[in-house]
Amino acid sequence: MAQLNYNHLRYFWVIAHEGGLGRAAEKLNVAPSALSVQLQKLELQIGHQLFERVGKRLRLTEAGRVALDYADTVFKTGEELLNTLQGRVDLDRKVLRVGAIPTMSRNFQLEFLRPLVGRDDVELVVRSGALRELLQDLEALVIDVVLSNSPAPQDARSAFRSLLLDEEPVSVVGRTGPAPFQFPADLHGAPLLLPSLGSEVRSAFDRMIDLAGVRPIIMAEVDDMAMLRLLARERQAYALVPPIVVRDELKSGMLRELHQVQGLAERFYAITQVRRFPNPLLDELLPGATSKD
């Protein structure tokens, strides 16, 4: 049985981390042409192309991303050996890269990731960004899953899967308010904190109050649920939020849930990409959802 050539693997590892043949060749003190030959030999041995050329840059293929994860583990072993002999044990860890749009509730993100939080063998990388940017990163294999309040756009070329994780009711909350609260009449002329105009919840809510002829005073439009939560705590104003966003404030009595808006719900999606080599950690968060088509 053929053995993996670890010299070739190391050359690939350096190319991937340096971002190209030129910088890697300089670091390894070898000619770029020789480095290219070694890379081709590795690709031939494992049966997969590891890079694709995009303009003047090299970009990892899906197989390349998987190979890099393994190479990181392999070459980390030497460091672990030194750490162990010097009394500093460094645990091998798997990495899950998560993207989340700003409107995604931090409490919901925590609940979604809870099976992996605190595990010594798992490193979580969570970044926030616009859905379009995160989907580009997902397609480029930079991240493994995107958490969003809306599904990924679908077209004939799309390889995205949008899995509905949960639906949460949306309520009017506030520090104080009349009891019973009359919706939507009590919002007329009242200060109100709202999600930004681009969200599905905001669009549906605007249609509701327009039909009822209600005109609140919009104090803020916020696309970040964490900021909306803080404003709801600090301002003497009503806020339109899923209760999970302000769960701790409702529990402590700092805020009150005044009215649950019927027919209005916040949806939470996990968006993945169809991959030959899905991140196995996703199976612990999305059982069965990462299998290949």
Q: In order of start, what are the domains of the chain with their CATH numbers?
A: 6-85 (1.10.10.10), 94-166+269-285 (3.40.190.10), 168-266 (3.40.190.10)
Backbone phi, psi, residue 48, to 5°: -145, 145
- Interhelix angle 21-28/32-46, rounded to 10 degrees, is 110
Paired tokens of 31: 């000619």
> What pTM was estimated for this model as a whole?
0.65
Alpha-carbon torsion (277, 280, 281, 284), positive or negative: positive
112-125 average pLDDT score: 90
43-48 average pLDDT score: 90
Between 6 and 287, the more confident residue is 6
Q: Look up residue 156 and give its DSSP letter.
A: T
3-state secondary structure (DSSP) of residue 147: strand
Q: Look up residue 186 and give its DSSP letter.
A: G
What's the confidence (pLDDT) of residue 54? 82
- Sorting pLDDT into bands at 50, 70 and 90, what band is 85? low
What's the confidence (pLDDT) of residue 84? 57
Among 124-128, 151-155, 265-269, 286-290, which stretch is predicted with the lowest mean pLDDT? 286-290
Contact (CB, 8 A) for 112 and 86 = no
